[in-house]
Amino acid sequence: MTDTNRCLVCAKDGAFEGGICDLCKAIIRGEALEHQHQIRKDADHSLHKEGTDLGKKRGG
């Protein structure tokens, strides 16, 4: 038996930390950030529609 296993997402062979390869981790993180951005955008739109505008105080 070898020390390698398969990525839980793409099933590529290799020794992966946490069971997911680096490429799949990057894709999942990107999708999560995109989803978070969309939620924030929808919330801002809803607040603006209700007449409440918090302004653009986000960011660094």
What are the tens digits of pLDDT across the range 11-50? 999 888 889 999 999 999 999 999 999 999 999 999 888 8
Residues in CB range of 20: below 8 A, 6 or more apart: 7, 8, 9, 28
Whether the Cβ atoms of residue 7 and residue 22 lie closer than 8 Å to each other: no
| pLDDT score of 60 | 44
Distance (Å, whole) CA 16 – CA 23: 11
User: What's the average model confidence in pLDDT over 47-57?
Assistant: 73
Distance (Å, whole) CA 24 – CA 15: 14
pTM, 2 dp:
0.64
Two structure tokens written together for 46: 């809803």
Distance (Å, whole) CA 30 – CA 22: 12
